[in-house]
Structure 1
Amino acid sequence: MDVKDADGGGGGGKGRKRRNICIGIGVCVGIIVIVIIIVVILAFTVFKAKRPVIRIDSIALDDLDVSFDIPRLRVNLNVSLDTTISVKNTNKVGFKYAPSSALLNYRGQLIGEVPIPAGKISAGETAAMNLTLTLMGDRFLSTPEAFSDAMSGALPLNTSTKISGKVNILNMFHVHVVSSSTCDFTVNIANRTVVDQQCKYKTKL
């Protein structure tokens, strides 16, 4: 009788131990699931990736030299533009962007370029970039309309900037972001001013 009681008591102890282990595993799994759900909710609500906003704040002439070769229907032109660009990171986390360039175009022809080095913008921060775009004379002269536009006193130019990077959410989700801006404007040769400026902005995730 004593032997049977001892065996029965041992079996019950093993059963309770198994139940405790199963309960412990269930609690751990439940906690992990809850944590995952919370992380996903935060990733798609509070830390949801947002579009950084790129703006061209100002375009001003830094230098302008022009001379005409009437017999050859040529124009010698040197133009430098001071451009201020701001990039606002609207995310709750930092935004890292790759090296890029700001481009100066004349009637669809690339005539100037300045590099934008890679960098990082903290959460909610606005980074200002001061760039100097210098016209490449040989490329400008290769455009058929160069002489007539210079003679008219108005040069239609365009600047374009594209910045691409990643938003790292909770060190788990990486969202690729591209933000770009283009500005059409005219350089008035007579009074050395920038007029008729119109800009467009685009961002995609």
Structure 2
Amino acid sequence: MADGPIIPTTRPKRPRPPSGRTNLASCVVATIFLIFIIIVILIVYYTVFKPQDPKIAVNAVQLPSFSVINGTVNFTFSQYASVRNPNRAAFSHYDSSLEILYSGNQVGFMFIPAGQIDAGRTQYMAATFSVQSFPLSAPPNMGPTLANGDGVGFNFGLRVQPTMEIESKLEMAGRVRVLHFFTHRVKVRTGCRVAIAVSDGSVLGFHC
């Protein structure tokens, strides 16, 4: 019995691998796209989400108790402040403190508990603590006087009373995390000079 006709077969052609030029073009396009995304993120970060330092404002200073015995001062210090967070992310603060100085020496210190201030919000803080006893510098400063053209001091009949001056330093440290990727470390401080009447401990004024 005769065999049937032999039909020639052809091997399927293998697909040609992509050329080197195609790979290079793909890499260039991907790189340009990545650079574009990074530029957009940086623009948004520095225009909309750029971190800013919180703003501290001291609203009031009081001395609930005050006494002077044998030239030694003892009092309780109270300070009321507001802290505004201008960022679009929460401000987490820690390692914050309030320090009281007299004649350049520390006479009082208080740690401020850690906390968080939400984005765009203002938090009010009140700190009250006892200041350790310390001797008054002698002699205490007298009240404000004015001077005439010859430099001679006079007070126009105003009652002059001895005063003392202390300095308060409020410092807050923390961080602001933007877009869950960028962390901005923050350390802000404010200092106030407080004038106090030695006779009764009344606060004559303060300047921050």
Query: TM exceeds 0.5?
Result: yes
Unaligned regions of 5+ residues in structure 1, if any?
Answer: 68-73, 200-205
Q: Give the one of 161, 176, 182 matched to 1:167.
A: 176
**Number of equivalences:** 182
Aligned counterparts, 1:8-19, within 5 A = 10-11=14-15, 15=18
* TM, length-normalised to structure 1: 0.74
Determine what percentage of the aligned residue pairs are the same residue: 24
Q: Residue 123 of structure 2 aligns with which residue?
A: 127
Q: Residue 112 of structure 2 aligns with which residue?
A: 116
CA distance in 2, matches of 1:46, 1:98: 25
CA contact (8 A) 2:95 2:174 kept: no
Unaligned regions of 5+ residues in structure 2, if any?
Answer: 1-7, 143-160
CA contact (8 A) 1:150 1:189 kept: no
Q: Residue 53 of structure 2 aligns with which residue?
A: 51
Q: Secondary structure at 2:97's aligned position in 1?
A: strand
> What is the letter of the counterpart of residue 109 of structure 2?
E
Please tell me whether Structure 1 or Structure 2 has the larger radius of gyration of its CA atoms: 2
CA contact (8 A) 1:104 1:133 kept: no
Q: Residue 140 of structure 2 aligns with which residue?
A: 149
CA contact (8 A) 1:75 1:150 kept: no
Q: Secondary structure at 1:148's aligned position in 2?
A: coil
CA distance in 2, matches of 1:51, 1:90: 8
Aligned counterparts, 1:88-127, within 5 A = 88-127=84-123
> What is the letter of the counterpart of residue 35 of structure 1?
I
Q: What value does the CA root-mean-square deviation take over the aligned residues? A: 3.0
| Bigger helix share | 1
